[in-house]
């Protein structure tokens, strides 16, 4: 009997020592009789220590429940036994328990939670190669030592064309402000070396008129003297942000217009009344001066009306009409001005019957008058206004309005839709903001392109159906 007991103890001891997991042999009071090296490494306890010191409250409860049923040899399992490993860290372990009634001891095998093991180098290379962002490694001298394939998508360059080049040459190549590229590069480099990381958004121009906004995150590690650079295309997000900012400025202008209208209209009405009374009896220079005053008052009223157009919401007067016919009728209104200023209108459209749309005809008429008026004012006598209406896909039309004026500078193109921005001595800077707001309200779009010394083209996109389920549709006929 004694020999059998010794054999069981020896067997348990070998099981603990040779186990591939942390394992101990414990007395039922928790004192460790045997422990393998894995257990000692993980929990810093060994022979003659009490493993109950590792258990949190729910673990002690589970152990006591296990002891109560130990009236004979049994096998048990503890799920999610909360323990303290490596001195401080709490972890959940699964524990396989074998209780030997002969020795009054239990063998506990600990199944530890999965931990991150050392990955092969190829795994890190794959992470770098297939990252969703452009990843770049630059040495302390600023030379690119590796880059992933995203460089082709972002800059239309191959890896071989980039590796070995100085990062400053890449920065200079795509930065639109060439003269400031070197200064900006040095400033960013100093910030990066001082703080260890930097996050910036830069505007780049890969090709003429192809603008990109790139979010650049860079980290510098002084230990190995490497820069880790991540570049993400955020053009769509940046353009949306700018559009929201612009919409906010239009909203502010609308609020200003409503306030100004309230403050100005009453005194202006009074002035107009007195001027009209005085004109009845005025003679000589007085009549001439009053005529000038009356003209200026009318100009003030026109400016006020333009501002009110920005403040008022678009009327939902939706009707079915021919866009081609409406354009022709607006041109009829402009024809006397064109003849007086010797401007030729090139407008030949053969698809009137095909250009039917559902929209607000009055609003579109105002948009066209603004665009045509701007084109006339941009041209000298003998200029040509060219209009072309085309079907764009199945659900929209585009109208291009091209003049032969002096064109616009890049700064003018950038700010042309900003309220109060104007290059005309007597302009209000509210006509094109009204055009933009109205087109957006109607679900359309407006774009501008210009070449200095050649002319400007405005492109208007009109959706074919403004309201899909309109129940009050009127047949529009322009007079």
Q: Are residues 64 and 185 in the same domain?
A: no
Domain boundary among 233, 252, 282: 233
Residue with tokens 């919401």: 313
Q: What is the mean pLDDT of the chain?
A: 78
Q: Residues 382, 383, 384, CA angle at the centre, nearest 5°?
A: 125
Nearest partner of 37 among 47, 50, 28, 29, judged by Cα? 47
CATH number at residue 195: 3.30.450.20
Q: Are residues 329 and 301 in the same domain?
A: no
Give the pLDDT band of residue 156 (cuts 50, 70, 90): confident
pLDDT digits (tens, 9 = 90+) for 231-281: 888 887 877 777 666 666 666 666 666 666 667 767 877 788 888 888 878
Q: Are residues 20 and 99 in the same domain?
A: yes
DSSP letter assigned to residue 50: B
CATH number at residue 299: 1.10.287
Which residues constitute the domain of residue 304? 240-311
Q: What is the pTM of this model?
A: 0.39
Residue 116 within a domain? no
Q: Are residues 454 and 358 in the same domain?
A: yes
Strand partners, 88: none
Query: CB 49: neighbour CB atoms within 10 A?
Result: 18
Q: Are residues 245 and 347 in the same domain?
A: no
pLDDT digits (tens, 9 = 90+) for 368-380: 888 888 888 888 8
Domain boundary among 111, 138, 171: 111
Instruction: Indicate the range of 23-27, 245-249, 254-258, 473-477 predicted with least confidence.
Output: 473-477
C-alpha–C-alpha distance, residues 117 and 363, integer Å: 67
Tokens in use for 76? 């048990």
Cβ contacts of residue 174 below 8 Å, gap of 6+? 155, 204, 205, 206, 212
């Amino acid at each position: 009997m004694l020999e059998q007991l010794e054999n069981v103890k020896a067997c348990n001891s070998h099981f603990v020592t040779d186990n591939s997991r942390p394992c101990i042999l414990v007395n039922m009071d928790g004192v460790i009789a045997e422990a393998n090296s894995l257990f000692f490494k993980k929990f810093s306890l060994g022979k003659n220590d009490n493993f109950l010191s590792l258990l949190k409250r729910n673990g002690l409860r589970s152990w006591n429940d296990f002891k109560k049923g130990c009236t004979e040899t049994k096998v048990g399992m503890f799920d999610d036994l909360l323990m303290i490993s490596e001195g401080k860290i709490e972890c959940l372990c699964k524990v396989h328990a074998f209780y030997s009634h002969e020795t009054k001891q239990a063998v506990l095998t600990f199944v530890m939670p999965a931990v991150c093991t050392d990955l092969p180098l190829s795994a890190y290379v794959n992470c770098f190669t297939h990252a969703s962002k452009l990843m770049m490694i630059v040495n302390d001298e600023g030379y690119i030592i590796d880059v992933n394939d995203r460089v082709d998508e972002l800059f239309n360059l191959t890896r071989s064309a980039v590796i070995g080049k100085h990062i400053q040459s890449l920065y200079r190549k795509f930065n639109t402000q060439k003269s400031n590229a070197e200064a900006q590069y040095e400033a960013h480099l100093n910030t990066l070396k001082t703080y260890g990381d930097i996050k910036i958004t830069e505007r780049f121009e890969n090709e003429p008129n192809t603008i990109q906004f790139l979010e650049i995150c860079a980290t510098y590690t002084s230990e190995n003297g490497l820069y880790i650079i991540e570049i993400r295309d955020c053009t769509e997000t940046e353009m949306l942000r700018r559009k929201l900012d612009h919409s906010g400025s239009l909203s502010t202008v609308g609020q200003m217009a409503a306030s100004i209208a309230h403050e100005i209209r009453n005194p202006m009405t009074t002035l107009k009344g007195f001027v009209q009374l005085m004109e009845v009896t005025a003679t000589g220079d007085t009549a001439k001066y009053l005529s000038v005053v009356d003209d200026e008052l009318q100009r003030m009223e026109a400016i006020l009306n333009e501002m009110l157009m920005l403040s008022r919401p678009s009327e939902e007067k939706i009707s079915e009409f021919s866009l081609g016919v409406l354009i022709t009728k607006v041109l009829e209104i402009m024809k006397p001005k064109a003849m007086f200023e010797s401007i030729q209108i090139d407008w030949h459209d053969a698809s009137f019957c095909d250009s039917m749309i559902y929209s607000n005809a009055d609003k579109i008429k105002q948009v066209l008058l603004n665009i045509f008026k701007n084109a006339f004012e941009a041209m000298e006598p003998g200029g040509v206004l060219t209009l072309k209406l085309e079907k764009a896909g199945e659900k929209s039309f585009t109208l291009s309005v091209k003049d032969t004026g002096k064109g616009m500078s890049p700064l003018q193109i950038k700010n042309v839709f900003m309220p109060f921005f104007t290059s005309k001595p007597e302009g209000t800077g509210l006509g094109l903001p009204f055009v933009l707001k109205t087109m957006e309200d109607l679900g359309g779009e407006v774009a501008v392109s210009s070449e200095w010394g050649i002319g400007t083209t405005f492109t208007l996109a009109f959706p074919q159906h403004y309201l899909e389920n309109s129940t009050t549709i009127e047949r529009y006929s322009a007079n």
